[in-house]
Structure 1
């Protein structure tokens, strides 16, 4: 109920004008992002600035018109927040695909949306360099203009921390009702609010994000193998845990131990909750190192590096240092869902490859830019399993699930379990649908988990040395939806398909 001018009125359970107005603001903001690749084109003079300028004009015109006509005058509610977030990621992927189509680099609209959704959701799957099911040969990564390479990486970077969180940081006009958007868009089972004001929280998180990106950019740029353009692109992709590279062979193309270890370190950083990074930078070492999720994250990575590096050394006869180098890189690339590559894991020994496949179901920490199931959910699931075993032995005992000194409520436990079941179901459904197009078991499984986990490379026909270009039209749209569902943590998207969502 709302009191307006002394009269009581009933507001509809979803105000679609509010949804359209805020959606217009996000489209308008994307217009500014589309201008940046145009500036890159002016530097390299490759003649593609018109495609970005036209796309930006479309974004400014349509977004500005929606905002002008439907500018919200009421506070957002949670249903509107969920609807806005889902529509925003889909709409921005469509608008962000326009430069590819206008320029003619990707004449297929589906391929353009696939590449853009893969960028914004930080998935890193690509259709570049492969032949489509209709027989068109998409250009190689190194053949497309630098402005488009920059656009892919910039979209990674914006999508990593979240376009909506960025907008909340710099657009005061979205301050009202901002928490609904922040909670609906931010990754992880919990949202760590550092300050009472949502705009201040968003600014702090983005400040940390920018600082780490700048640090990585400088460390990469000082190496002679990378110029400033390659350094900024890979810094964007790393901190967003995206995985798009300026090279067909990804990081392997640079053949540098130094570059590999710089990216390994920053992939590890990107997989940690950025709120915890903020506390660490402020000198709160205790909160950071006592955090159970970070400890578990570090343990999983160390054990995985030990196992995989050992199999490469013993079974694949790699030199010890090389085994540690390639094993560490690929573990971090998969656990954090970055998806960069320095080695073809499909030709590894069976034990190492299988162990790496299991890591496709992990993910970074809650509140990081990584995708996947997330470490916090695994911590809760493992603790709950241990509790159930103890409960069988001591049926009358009251045994709460605890992480440190904090008891995990039944509501959170149910939510985590429901998420896990739905995640596995959606992964299985995606793999089944891909198999209907004639792909083998590992190719179908790999395409599905790579998309819903926002990892990038999969297995089989979609492995680290392959592309997704040959997938038929409908198959690409299935993966487009899986990428969005995975990026928005499933519930955010699936809830809008629930009949209860649309009922008063």
Structure 2
């Protein structure tokens, strides 16, 4: 054991200085991100660059001060890693919301934080284009300056692969405790390390992420309905499975079958474990196509596309081509928790809408940028259910759960079951709290699962054509918490509320 590890082991209390120092490094990094929208403003000359410059200076000042005074000198422990991750997401949202206020685009700091954390958590819910509970009318999406449209999409893109993973990849000074941060932030029940060093793993994942983003950008840009700006924004939002668009009507605003199919394909790609993408690009096709979670994800997507397309064709009188186009897009958008829209699914026949509501509880693969429960967890729960049935018939038999050639140990099984129970309980509590504000059943449940699953659009008064602006401010903070809990896979946040976490 190294001297640094021994020192970390001997520390009995949480070291808040270590947490503050690393948190400062992330805030400082956010300052560089805030300069990019200022560059967009200089291109379009909309006179909003000062909002981002001032915000960047605030981030540099705050982050630099924390890093200077509390720079970590000891190894980061697991508990401190969880605290850093949870505090990073909310802190970056609080700082990232400042440009909305300085520019005067939004009058409410709550709305600014809501829009920012919705971007960073890749949720895609918006308060734009609606009137708040105290009568303030927020601007429409298409009325925003280009710099702010870009900032929303950039927040998606950074949050998709994870700001912390990005920081570990490009800032060697954060090599201290890197694995703890990587494991705490990465979505899914397991973390797939491609190399022995976590910093190299983070770099490889980001190389794949950037490559897919650039590929989609080119495919969108060659179509006349999108200029380079729209293409960049939608490529970033798609690969992050976010859902922010530059149009009030989302993807429907481009009215292009080509655009729909390109985005459908890349949403599906974004729902796959990026480690599997890397293996495929490296030439390991066998590992890619034999992956059981990927097969299950493809099967669920295929069945959802068929079900929704048939519903639109048989009951909504869509032409078969249009039924497949809209059914495929909406199925993939919800399964991957991207949340883009090309049609108002609340107007669909009841079978299609109910099937889509079920898909709100799915999610992409572990290691993807998608939110939700994740396919691997559903696989383990389904296998466990069949195992229990067999166990009743053969009570003395030893029946392990296997995914492919891998045996799932009981510890992972318990974690998955606990996650699922917590997920449903938190969804129910969120729905109950939202209902206190007078919203109907579907609106309350839709808002809750939309935030917890990082999906974006909900149901009822928060459907695909509506805004969350009308939600009372306390309700918005409830949804902000749900977004963060969902993005960090529940345990990373809830562990902070455990008494055992704070014990020496």
Aligned to 2:477: 477
**Could you give the per-residue CA deviations for residues 139-198 of structure 1, whole angstroms, max 9, x where no partner exists?**
000001000000000000000000000000000001121000000000001100000011
Aligned pairs for 1:172-187 within 5 A: 172-187=172-187
Distance 2:23 2:451 in 1: 25
C-alpha deviation, 1:107, in angstroms: 1.2
Any stretches of 5+ residues in structure 1 without a counterpart?
none
Contact 2:7 2:74 in 1 (8 A): no
Structure 2 counterpart of 1:303: 303
Contact 1:238 1:270 in 2 (8 A): yes
Contact 1:150 1:233 in 2 (8 A): yes
- CA–CA separation in structure 2 for the residues paired with 1:403 and 1:8: 36
Inter-partner Cα distance in structure 2 for 1:405 and 1:498: 36
Secondary structure of the residue aligned to 2:125 is coil
Q: TM-score of the superposition, structure 2-length normalised?
A: 0.99
C-alpha separation in 2, matches of 1:378 and 1:369: 17
Gap change, CA 1:417 and 1:137, over 3 Å in 2: same
The change in CA–CA distance for 1:291 and 1:65 in structure 2 (over 3 A counts) is: same
For 2:371, the equivalent position in structure 1 comes to: 371
CA contact (8 A) 2:315 2:349 kept: yes
Task: Tell me the residue number matched to 1:192.
Answer: 192
User: Structure 1 residues 314 and 293 mapped into 2: Cα distance closer, same or farther (>3 Å)?
Assistant: same
Between the aligned partners of 1:32 and 1:329, the Cα distance in structure 2 is 34
- Structure 1: how far apart are the matches of 2:362 and 2:486? 13
The question of whether the paired residues in 2 share the 8 Å contact of 1:3 and 1:9 is answered with no
Deviation of the 1:383 alpha carbon: 0.5
After superposition, residues 53-202 of structure 1 pair within 5 angstroms as 53-202=53-202
Give aligned pairs, total: 503
CA distance in 1, matches of 2:2, 2:274: 37
Within a 5 Å distance, the mapping from 1:79-478 to structure 2 comes to: 79-478=79-478
2:80 and 2:11 mapped to 1: Cα distance? 13
2:8–2:76 Cα contact (<8 Å) kept: no
Compute the TM-score of the two structures, normalised by the length of structure 1: 0.99
The change in CA–CA distance for 1:241 and 1:3 in structure 2 (over 3 A counts) is closer
Deviation string, structure 1 residues 375-395 (Cα, Å, up to 9, x no partner): 000000000001001101111
Note closer, same or farther for the CA distance 1:332–1:386 as it changes in structure 2 (3 Å cut): same
1:12 shift after superposition: 3.3
- For residues 13 and 269 of structure 1, what CA distance do their matches in structure 2 show? 43
SS in 1 for 2:395: coil
2:29 corresponds to which residue? 29
Tell me how far apart the structure 1 counterparts of residues 7 and 328 of structure 2 sit (CA, whole Å): 65
Could you tell me how far apart the structure 2 residues matched to 1:216 and 1:427 are?
Answer: 34
Deviations 1:270-305 (A, max 9, x none): 000000000000110111111000000000000011
Report SS of the residue matched to 1:501: helix
Partners of 1:444 and 1:193 lie apart in 2 by 39
For residues 8 and 434 of structure 1, do their structure 2 counterparts lie closer, same or farther at Cα, with a shift above 3 Å needed?
A: closer
> 3-state SS of the aligned residue for 1:201?
helix
Q: Deviation of residue 7 (structure 1)?
A: 11
Contact kept in structure 2, 1:2 and 1:8, CA below 8 Å: no
Separation in structure 2 between the aligned mates of residue 48 and residue 307 of structure 1, nearest angstrom: 46
The alignment partner of 2:369 has SS state of: coil
1:407 partner SS: strand
Question: How many Å separate the matches in 2 of 1:493 and 1:304?
Answer: 32
Structure 1's 54 and 2: CA in aligned 2 closer, same or farther, altered over 3 A?
A: same
For 1:290 and 1:2, locate their aligned partners in 2 and report how far apart those are by CA, in whole Å. 40
Q: Which runs of 5 or more residues in structure 2 are unaligned?
A: none
RMSD in angstroms over aligned alpha carbons?
Answer: 1.4
Equivalent-residue separation in structure 1 for 2:3 and 2:116 (angstroms): 43
What's the offset of the Cα at 1:366?
0.1
Pick which of 74-83 and 10-19 moved more: 10-19
Is the 1:2–1:11 contact (alpha carbons within 8 Å) kept by the matching residues of 2?
Answer: no
Look up the SS of the partner of 1:402 in the other structure: strand
How far off its partner does 1:202 sit?
0.2
Q: Is the 8 A contact 2:8 2:74 kept in 1?
A: no
Partners of 1:499 and 1:20 lie apart in 2 by 21
Superposition deviation, residue 10 in structure 1: 4.2
CA distance in 2, matches of 1:87, 1:124: 21
> Contact 2:111–2:127 at 8 Å: present in 1 too?
yes
SS of corresponding position for 1:102: helix
* CA distance in 2: counterparts of 1:106 and 1:222, whole angstroms: 34
